[in-house]
Structure 1
Amino acid sequence: MTRRRLHVLYEWGDDLRPHGSAYIRLLRPLSHPAVQGALDVTFGRDDEGQPVDAVIVDRLWRPEMWLGDDAAMARARRLVEAAHARGARFLYALDDNLLEVHGPDAGANPQAAVVDYWLRAADGVLVTTEALRQRFAPLNPRIVVVPNALDERLLPGAVRPTSADDRVVIGYMGTLTHDEDLRMIAPALRTVCARHPGEVELQVVGVVERRETLNALDGLPLRMVSPFPEEGEYPLFIVWLTHRLRWDIALAPLVDTPFNACKSDLKHLDYAAMGAAGVYSRVPSYAGTVRHGETGWLAANDTASWVEALETLIARPALRHALARAAADYLYTERVLARRAGMLIGALEELLA
């Protein structure tokens, strides 16, 4: 049987490197040993017009597409037309509600014009959550959900010992779209740190960009941590994150917005790989997979609930360790590519049938 040929246009940034989400959802799964021989796949920043059965475009593809201007729209149309002109399917891959990155106000989301066009024009769409499928269903009926999974080849493979001293290390990781999430729990962090002077350290990876976020965290026992620049690309970043950092508790607050409502549980997987006990907002993104009190702790989006969660886990190290172990068991038995890579192949076959 002839193998299908695919060309993946991953999303890349100003540094010309693939974004982390492209590695997680496309590059690592489609090059995993578990699916070797199933497809002929090439990856690149541009469409070279090669003969393929499908072109997969990831998110916004190129930095300038975020502008959503006439030039971006013209490029978006040319890409679809070029694929169809040579008999290839055009597939679109998304892991975020890019129609509403900055809320429902269309004027604040210039990229939405490109996303809307590609969703409507696509011969099939790959998404990471059921919420995304429902959000995009009015624009395209051919949508398949493939939940995120991590590449076990990059992970430690077992829960490691946490912080070596007497302090409890509480960590948060997030991109620049998550300032508001971190600010939501800042009062809880301030309360807990005041109750445990010298006993708690906060570590933050990424995220803090806006002045109001820095103000909300001012005076807390906070340490910003980051990899070396050469470790910024996803495969090395996830190795740095899961092998180098030692967090006792890891935080995943998520404000209830149209954008966040479609988010996946990726932080649950990352924190499980780190060996940390995770505290997650009690929202659909996490409530569907995090088992409260077993693989993580779910907290309502109010200060009292987050204080309770943190106080509970600070006071009960045995519970922290149990949550971390159970989360890691869940990750390695259900959410790694050795178990899940075939799901993406099945989804592609369904869309190309």
Structure 2
Amino acid sequence: MLKIAVEKRASTVVGHDHSLSVFLRLVRPLRKLSQRGGVEVCAASTAALLDHGGFPYDVLFVNRPTQSENLTLIRRARDAGVPVVVDIDDWMYTLPSYGKDLLRERADPARELYDLAQAMTLPTSFFAQVMAPVFAGQRSVLPYGFEFDGAASTSVAEADTRRIILSSMFTLKLGRRTEAFAAALRDFLDRFEDWSVDFYCENYATDLFEHPRIARLSPVSYDDYLRVLSQRRYAFCLVPLAGYEEEADLLFNACKSPLKFVDYSANAIGGIYSRSPVYETVIEDRRSGLLVDNTYDGWFAAMGELAQNASLRRELSTVSHDVAREHFSLDVSVEALRRTLDTLLP
């Protein structure tokens, strides 16, 4: 029996115990792997893992920012001859002790963690390339694994709706282009009076998005959010993200994961996405999504085109759904994880 320990990181997502990134890319695929037999998974806090005498596991995955007890756990695993894998996502770089400069030069808080780890797992191949200068060990891509059971199918007829979904956990990450996007959205709704927007967001500039047909909705748990998507209430989605116009944030945003594309596409909801590297790597423009520059004209034109072109909406829905099934299913994630483990263990 192969015993795998996963260091649990607290979630910032409503109603979720694990960090959502860690759960979708690591914990859920590991649990799926354990169902096939021969693998036992323990996902617990750093303190709980340290409570065990010695280190009764065969592999350790760590994903919390470097703290003293975190390093204690890693050293204990290494003293026991257990391989350590550090799992990295963009969340770790929002912390002051790391910061975006970690992507440019090796930051002191992470130095010892990287020196002790044998391998690194990351959500995208681009991120893996970026981390090459700061981590010399094995780097493996673990994509998000979507469980397609219960997701909407492209065989479901398009709902007779004129509703659009826009969501952001905390605030829109558009930087200086937020006002242009908001103005385009307001003007679109003024011109197309039978359309409306559901905006799931915890914190945003209310005045910028003030409109009779923009409904401000509080964030829901991830499971509830997926249930909403599976009901096909929406004709298309809007996914803004700062791109090439925000040079200071470009590298950081490029290392994000295409989670929104996966969630929407898995539920056969086509959409409009910012022309930002994270989406350019997974979207074929006008086939699996519309890619737009973060300008007023770009967003306004794209929203108007999709509102008037049901055929294009159906194509984006169908093709994006196929892309999600091919590249982001749970089986794909499990296989990537299995390959990573095979390289670490005799």
Q: TM-score range by the shorter chain?
A: 0.7 to 0.9
Q: Which of 193, 214, 224 is 1:222 aligned to?
A: 214
My pick for the range that moved more, 262-271 or 338-347, is 338-347
My pick for the range that moved more, 87-96 or 114-123, is 114-123
Question: Structure 2 vs 1, CA of residues 259 and 317 (structure 1 numbering), >3 Å: closer, same or farther?
Answer: same
Mapped partners of 2:60, 2:34: distance in 1: 22
1:267-305 deviations in whole A, cap 9, x for unaligned? 111111232221111222111221111111111222211
Deviation at 1:262, TM superposition (A): 0.5
Is it true that 1:300 corresponds to 2:287 in the alignment?
no
Amino acid at match of 2:165: G
1:211-234 deviations in whole A, cap 9, x for unaligned? xx2221123521133576xxx2x4
Contact 2:61/2:85, CA 8 A, preserved across alignment: yes
The equivalent residue for 2:18 is: 18
Tell me how large the CA RMSD over aligned residues is. 2.9
Which consecutive segments of 4 or more residues in structure 1 shift more than 4 A?
Answer: 100-107, 112-117
Mapped partners of 1:77, 1:104: distance in 2: 19
Contact 1:170/1:247, CA 8 A, preserved across alignment: yes
Instruction: Trace 1:61-210 onto structure 2 (pairs within 5 A).
Output: 73-96=67-90, 98-100=92-94, 114-115=109-110, 117-142=112-137, 143-158=139-154, 160-165=156-161, 168-176=162-170, 178-180=172-174, 183=178, 185-196=181-192, 198-206=193-201, 208-210=202-204
The equivalent residue for 1:248 is: 235
Is it true that 1:324 corresponds to 2:317 in the alignment?
yes
Question: Structure 2 vs 1, CA of residues 346 and 290 (structure 1 numbering), >3 Å: closer, same or farther?
Answer: same
Question: Structure 2 vs 1, CA of residues 154 and 18 (structure 1 numbering), >3 Å: closer, same or farther?
Answer: farther
DSSP 3-state at the match of 1:216: coil
Is it true that 1:312 corresponds to 2:312 in the alignment?
no
Mapped partners of 2:334, 2:226: distance in 1: 20
Question: Structure 2 vs 1, CA of residues 315 and 116 (structure 1 numbering), >3 Å: closer, same or farther?
Answer: farther
TM-score by length of 2: 0.83
TM-score by length of 1: 0.81
Mapped partners of 1:126, 1:94: distance in 2: 6
Aligned residues: 325
Contact 2:274/2:292, CA 8 A, preserved across alignment: yes
Percentage identity across aligned positions?
A: 22
Mapped partners of 1:161, 1:95: distance in 2: 36
Deviation at 1:348, TM superposition (A): 2.5
Is it true that 1:51 corresponds to 2:60 in the alignment?
no
Mapped partners of 1:115, 1:97: distance in 2: 14
DSSP 3-state at the match of 1:205: strand
DSSP 3-state at the match of 1:312: helix
Deviation at 1:33, TM superposition (A): 5.9
The equivalent residue for 1:68 is: none
Contact 2:25/2:333, CA 8 A, preserved across alignment: no
Is it true that 1:5 corresponds to 2:6 in the alignment?
no
The equivalent residue for 2:246 is: none
Mapped partners of 1:16, 1:238: distance in 2: 12
Q: Could you list the runs of 5+ residues in structure 2 that have no partner in the other structure?
A: 244-248
Question: Structure 2 vs 1, CA of residues 266 and 303 (structure 1 numbering), >3 Å: closer, same or farther?
Answer: same
Deviation at 1:158, TM superposition (A): 4.0
Amino acid at match of 2:85: L
Question: Structure 2 vs 1, CA of residues 89 and 307 (structure 1 numbering), >3 Å: closer, same or farther?
Answer: same
Amino acid at match of 1:242: L
Question: Structure 2 vs 1, CA of residues 227 and 288 (structure 1 numbering), >3 Å: closer, same or farther?
Answer: closer
